[in-house]
Structure formats: C-alpha cells, structure tokens
Amino acid sequence: MSETAPAADAAAASGSHPLRAVVLAGGLTFEREVSLSSGTQVVEELTRAGLDAELRDADAELLPGLTAAPADAVFIALHGATGEDGALRAVLDLAGVPYVGSPASACRLAWDKPAAKSVVRSAGVLTPDWVALPHSTFRELGAAAVLDLMVARLGLPLMVKPASGGSALGVQKVSRVEDLPAAMVSCFAYGDTVMVERFVEGVELALAVVDLGDGPQALPAVEIEPESGVFDYTSRYTPGLTEYHSPARVDDAVAERAAALAVRVHEVLGLADLSRTDAIVTPDGEVHFLEVNVSPGLTETSMFPMAVEAAGHELGDVLARLLARRAETPR
C-alpha cells in the first residue's frame, strides 16, 4: 500500500474539522455480538487515529440520525445478512450516504457462496467441488437418497455449511456417512439452503485485500491453525483455541499465488475497498478458494487486523484512509 498522510493529519493540515465517521455494528443476526465487538474495536482505532467516530446500530433510528447529524462516511462493521447481503448498502445508496466497502450488487453475489464459487471458478480460480440444495429438495425427493448421491459424487470427508452466512456458524466437517443427516439438520437452522463441499486437506489461509486508491493489494497471508482441526465458530472467537501465524508459514511462491488469488477474487466479484478471502493450500502447493467476506471481522482475534499489522501498518490509519477516500469520492 502506498504511504499517504492519515485522514486525521490531512484534516488538521487544511484546518478543517476531523472527519466524522459513523461505525455501524450490531444488527439482528446470529452474528450480533461479534459485530458489536468489531464495531467497538473500529471506533477505538479511529479515535486513536484522530477521527470523530461514533458507534451506531442498524435500526429504525439510523436514517433519522444520519439526517440530523450527517457523517462524512460510514464504516460497516455489521456481520451476517444485515451488513453483507447488500440490502443495507442499497439503502445507504438511496440516502446518498458514503460508506466504505463493496457496492450492494457485489455484496449480494459474495453473500451467496455457491454463486460466488461459480463466478470464481469461471475466472479460472481453483475451488473445491460442491453441491448446494434447499431444504425443500430433501423433503420432496427424500433426504436419504439425495445424501447418498452427494456422498457418491463428492466423497468423504465433507464440509457442510450454510449457503450464506459468516463466522463459520453452522459449519461442520463430516467424516462418516452416519453423521451427515445430523449435520444437515443443524446447518438448516441458519438458512434454507445448505452447501456441501468436498473437504480439502491443507493449510488454511486468511487473505486480506485493501484498496486505498492504487488498486486492490493483498496483505500478508495469515495462517490459521485451530486446535480442533476445524475453524468453526468456537475456534474463531474463543481466545487460545486457534493459533495464528502472520505472515503464514508458506514458501514465497505459494504466498505469491495466494495473494494473486485473493486479488483476483476481489476483482472478479466486483468488490471494493476491503475484503478477506479464505483459502486452503494443499500439500502440493495448490491454492483453493473457499469463500470471501465483504465485512471482515475486526475483533481482537480477527485475521484482518493481523494482516494489517504484518504489513507494517496501523489498523486505525488504514481504516481512516478508507473512510477519507469514500468521503472525498462517494459512489
């Protein structure tokens, strides 16, 4: 990333008021608590960077509040559907409120994991084979018959995950056929459609991408080493259950391929400003795309801040520069 003055310094130099940022967090999703943690962290970082930052929920008071006290730009720290399926961003567009992050149309695509995988695969990016089906298919055609076809096609082990959603909610690794029905039932608690994906053995990487005006650039990869062997919700948000290595312990050639994959995903899905791609590196050095997050976690155990630190930057300065860019050049 190119070096420029942080947004707060630029405002001070011109004699203008500090940039006013509203950080959106919370929402009514399964990921509310994670979002509030991210939002609180963002406000603290922006305040340290010299911005006037306020935390707000995405509720009925949001639009009147933004009208009464307009923000120079909004930072979306909402996780789950509220912050990632594009609906809120479409409303902000209608209201003419600048915000950091991907546009509504790109978010809708990235939120739908099977659709995003299809687009990414069409662009030549490796991704594990998958099948995505709604609950009604199992009910109408018979769950046992459909599950048998899935196993015959994809083999074992499998990863079972909601077709949309984040924070690894509902995600399970299934190694035995007899465990698959229960995993499916559990997964349907988080959405009507389940994606069953071939499990790929390897090193899991989190690949952050940031665009500060010079095009998307990948930050150093973060290697994820969960104690349980599966990076599920508990492993993500319970300190001590996952070990992180930043930068990742992979050779330079693999690191370059992983970085190129993350930037390629960011571009082909039409993302903007920041994203985090999750990928697996197989023992032979191939990098496989898993999914992408348009609103990366920013908690104390989140990978995006680790990548920023590994790149030698302060998180608050990076976020401030993203906000200043959107305040100056809204969509």
Q: Are residues 186 and 156 in the same domain?
A: yes
Q: Are residues 118 and 265 in the same domain?
A: yes
Q: Are residues 32 and 167 in the same domain?
A: no
Which residues have a Cβ under 8 Å from the Cβ of 231 and sit 6 or more positions away?
168, 204, 224, 242
Q: Does residue 325 have an active-site annotation?
A: no
pLDDT of residue 315: 97
The Cα–Cα gap between 137 and 171 comes to: 20
For 10, left (φ over 0), alpha (ψ -120 to 50), or beta?
alpha
Mean pLDDT of 155-176: 89
Residue 160 pLDDT more than 70? yes
**Among 235, 293, 295, 302, which one carries the catalytic annotation?**
293
Q: Are residues 209 and 177 in the same domain?
A: no
Question: Residue 114, Cα to own-chain centre: how many angstroms?
Answer: 15
**What percentage of the chain has pLDDT greater than the value 90?**
81
pLDDT of residue 24: 97
Q: Does residue 237 have an active-site annotation?
A: yes
The Cα–Cα gap between 116 and 102 comes to: 14
pTM over 0.75: yes
Q: Which one, of 237, 306, 303, 309, lies nearest residue 276 by Cα?
A: 303
Provide the pLDDT confidence category of residue 10 given band limits of 50, 70 and 90. very low
Residue 155: give its domain's CATH number.
3.30.1490.20
Whether residue 1 is contained in a domain is answered as no
Residue 208: give its domain's CATH number.
3.30.470.20
**Among 85, 204, 211, 291, which one carries the catalytic annotation?**
291
**Among 57, 72, 84, 278, which one carries the catalytic annotation?**
278
Q: Are residues 13 and 142 in the same domain?
A: no
Q: What count of other Cβ atoms lies within 10 Å of the Cβ of residue 243? A: 10
Residue 51: give its domain's CATH number.
3.40.50.20
Mean pLDDT of 268-296: 97
Q: Does residue 291 have an active-site annotation?
A: yes
Phi, psi angle pair for 3, to nearest 5°: -90, 120
Give the chain's domain count: 3
Per the structure, the complete domain to which residue 190 belongs is given by 130-198
Q: Does residue 276 have an active-site annotation?
A: yes
Q: Which of 198, 214, 244 is the last residue of a domain?
A: 198
For 144, the token pair is: 């046992």
Q: Does residue 278 have an active-site annotation?
A: yes
Strands 203-210 and 193-198: unpaired
Token pair 């930052």 is at which residue? 53
**Among 237, 302, 316, 325, which one carries the catalytic annotation?**
237
The Cα–Cα gap between 134 and 323 comes to: 38
Provide the pLDDT confidence category of residue 2 given band limits of 50, 70 and 90. low
Q: Which one, of 81, 112, 85, lies nearest residue 291 by Cα?
A: 112
**Among 99, 297, 302, 316, which one carries the catalytic annotation?**
297
Residue 46 pLDDT more than 70? yes
pLDDT of residue 4: 46
Span 180-216, pLDDT tens digits? 999 999 999 989 999 999 999 999 999 999 999 999 9
Q: What is the dihedral of CA 316, 322, 327, 331, to 10 degrees?
A: -160
CA-CA-CA-CA torsion sign (282, 285, 289, 295): positive
Q: Are residues 76 and 12 in the same domain?
A: yes
Q: Are residues 24 and 72 in the same domain?
A: yes
For 166, the token pair is: 């984040």
Q: Does residue 112 have an active-site annotation?
A: no
Span 11-43, pLDDT tens digits? 443 346 799 999 999 988 778 888 999 999 999
Q: Which one, of 143, 151, 191, 147, lies nearest residue 171 by Cα?
A: 191
Provide the pLDDT confidence category of residue 238 given band limits of 50, 70 and 90. confident
The Cα–Cα gap between 315 and 258 comes to: 22
Q: Are residues 238 and 121 in the same domain?
A: yes
Report the mean per-residue pLDDT for the chain: 92
**Among 35, 38, 167, 302, which one carries the catalytic annotation?**
167
The Cα–Cα gap between 115 and 93 comes to: 24
Strand arrangement, sheet containing 158-162: 130-134, 193-198, 158-162, 172-174
Residue 146 pLDDT more than 80? yes
Provide the pLDDT confidence category of residue 229 given band limits of 50, 70 and 90. confident
> Could you tell me the CA-to-CA distances from 15 to 160, 236, 317, 329 in Å, in that order?
54, 43, 19, 20
Q: Are residues 214 and 114 in the same domain?
A: yes
**Among 108, 276, 325, 326, which one carries the catalytic annotation?**
276
